[in-house]
Amino acid sequence: MPSDINAEVTARLRGVFGAVLRNPGLRRVQVAFFGFNSGELAVWIAIAVYAYGRGGATEAGVVAMVQLVPAALFGPFPGVLADRVSPARILAVGYTLQAAALAATAAALFADSSKFLIYALAACTTTLMTTTRPAQAALVPALAYRPEELTAANVVSGWNDSVSALAGPALAGVLLAVGGPKWVLAAMTVAVLGSAAVVAPLAASREEDDTSANVEEEEPAPVLDDILAGFVLVKRDAQARLLLLLLAAQFLAIGAFNVITVVIALNLVHIGEGGAGYLSAAYGCGGALSIVLTASLVGRPRLAPALIGASLAWGVALLVLGLAPNVVAALLLLAGAGAGRALYDVAGNTLLQRSVSWDVVSRVFGILEGVSMLAMAAGALIVPLLVSTAGARVAVVGTGVVLPLALLLCGRRVLQIDSGATVPVVEIALLRSLPFFQALPAPQIEGLARALTAIDADAGDVLIREGEIGDRFYVIAEGEVEVTAGGRHVATLERGDGFGEIALLRDVPRVATCTALTPLRAYALDREPFVASLAGHRSSTRALGRLVDRRLAELEEIAKPVQP
């Protein structure tokens, strides 16, 4: 029996990681995210230790607020930008700017500059880091080949979060013990600069896709109007509002935890400044080991039970640690808290992606980024108050209460949301990659996504045969298709390309044969919704007409007799 369980777990993990590793875009995103996460966590610890050494828990909490409040105010902007500019480009530019801010902060530390300058530069770095998650939330569905890959990508992101929460703080602990905060900042500058280099090819390829679309669009609304529209939407959408609050509760707990680890290390278990890094590393280790739990979410229709179990794991671990602190217990219990937090994060983010309309997902995640920074600032300020009024142990227990209390207050509504969360985000992202669908309004393109039928084909299978009556349009999610006419090669199509539109738009027999060159996953859209979607949308019809004209011209050129 144990061997069967081990085999099942191994197969599940292999499937999750295989789905992401086989996808070049998702692979790049995850590698870059690791460098970013490691840098974010290590820098946070380094600045907290620096502030604690100059003013104790109170200054550490105030400095956390100084870093997080500007980030909270800036947080919604990247979400709006991701709706207007390629999210891959935002990701690459964001990483580059973060590396520059980290380098400036490291230089100030090496020069022994004023602590106020260092805190200001740290706040700038934290603010720039808010560009990453909204851009990534908008980009990942567009890179996924299949719906299950979205959950797999979120699982790997959660595992990535946890492994970097182990690697970043562990390295921070070593560097703090050896050379102090300045060396942490220097090392993390290199890590984040590497992230920028990894995603740069994605930004270049997405830019080419954007410029080739050639779709006529209306002048976008001012950025501030779009941000306010996002808040209005959240205000009206009870589901989005509740899920944002649940995820904000997580960041309230994290903000408290980031300060409480320093308090535990220095006041409760007495293991020195480097101990804060080691305790955070134990927390990250638990998150990394939770991959078995988070992998089980792939393909699971309901996520609320995972949220409930995760909140209890977090609460029990910190409750026991507050009652009986010692070094071994701290390491083990914080690992348990890390596992619970990782499961909570993956389940919560996936549920939010499933529940929110596709056209505002980046804006909602941008709002989440801002709200999460405010929540982290609040958590960081609460800890010093609890320590000064009730003691370090009560502060630890209070940090543990946050997630169970949030689920207790919202649990019934979460179950209702969970049962109805079915937004087809991957299919929508695939349709949006086609120029003639980009101008369609949100409800219409979402309706088209729900009308898609998944098609799997083997290499050599014929999807369209020349001369037959056409009744479907196809868009490729994974694999390649060869287009031939009169036995001659016309083109090779790949992910994001569509075919079959000529017969539907011009009401003629199929003008070419389309054959799978590799194992293929495609989505098919029947004639009626395809034609109806274009009615009344001149820019979409013109974009499709240009594509049809170009393809017919290519066919005519190929059909010309070869000159002797």
Residue pair 264/330 in contact by the 8 Å Cβ criterion: yes
Packing angle, helices 273-289 and 147-178, rounded to 10: 160
Question: Three-class SS of residue 335?
Answer: helix
Summarize pLDDT for 129-148 with one digit per residue, the tens: 888 887 887 777 777 766 66
113-127, 336-350, 410-424: least confident range:
410-424
Predicted confidence at residue 215, as pLDDT, reads 40
Q: List Cβ neighbours of 93 (8 Å cut-off, separation of 6 or more).
A: 131, 203
Mean pLDDT of 331-349: 85
In the predicted structure, residue 211 carries a pLDDT above the cut 60 = no
In the predicted structure, residue 402 carries a pLDDT above the cut 50 = yes
Cα dihedral 103→109→110→112 (10° resolution): 150
Separation between Cα atoms, residue 97 and residue 114, nearest integer Å = 23
Q: Spelled out in words, what is the top-level CATH class assigned to the domain 427-559?
A: mainly beta
Residue 356's pLDDT band, with cuts at 50, 70 and 90, is: low
| C-alpha radius of gyration, the chain, whole number | 26
Predicted confidence at residue 334, as pLDDT, reads 86
Predicted confidence at residue 214, as pLDDT, reads 43
Summarize pLDDT for 249-264 with one digit per residue, the tens: 888 888 888 778 878 8
Give a three-class secondary structure readout of 229-264: HHHHHHHHCHHHHHHHHHHHHHHHHHHHHHHHHHHH
Separation between Cα atoms, residue 44 and residue 59, nearest integer Å = 14
Summarize pLDDT for 322-338 with one digit per residue, the tens: 888 888 888 888 888 88
User: In CATH terms, is domain 23-205+226-423 a member of 1.20.1250.20?
Assistant: yes
The reply to whether domains 23-205+226-423 and 427-559 share a CATH topology is no
Residue 213's pLDDT band, with cuts at 50, 70 and 90, is: very low
**Helix (H) or strand (E) segment spanning residue 64:** helix 24-74
72-76, 376-380, 500-504: least confident range:
72-76
Highest mean pLDDT: which range of 233-247, 354-368, 400-414: 400-414
Highest mean pLDDT: which range of 347-351, 486-490, 549-553: 486-490
Question: Half-sphere exposure of residue 261, counting CA atoms within 13 Å on the CB side?
Answer: 32
Mean pLDDT of 242-247: 82
The residue assigned the tokens 């740069």 is 200
Q: List Cβ neighbours of 194 (8 Å cut-off, separation of 6 or more).
A: 32, 35
Mean pLDDT of 86-112: 90
Predicted confidence at residue 10, as pLDDT, reads 67
Per-domain boundaries in the chain: 23-205+226-423, 427-559
Whether pTM > 0.75 for this model: the answer is no
Residue pair 187/171 in contact by the 8 Å Cβ criterion: yes
Mean pLDDT of 479-484: 92
Predicted confidence at residue 553, as pLDDT, reads 73
In the predicted structure, residue 454 carries a pLDDT above the cut 80 = yes
Residue 516's pLDDT band, with cuts at 50, 70 and 90, is: very high
Nearest to 542 by CA among 505, 508, 511: 505
Question: Three-class SS of residue 456?
Answer: strand
Mean pLDDT of 398-424: 79
Predicted confidence at residue 537, as pLDDT, reads 59
Residue pair 440/323 in contact by the 8 Å Cβ criterion: no
Mean pLDDT computed over every residue of the chain: 78
Question: Three-class SS of residue 488?
Answer: strand
% of the chain at pLDDT higher than 70:
78
**Helix (H) or strand (E) segment spanning residue 395:** helix 392-420
Predicted confidence at residue 460, as pLDDT, reads 93
Predicted confidence at residue 105, as pLDDT, reads 92
Predicted confidence at residue 564, as pLDDT, reads 46
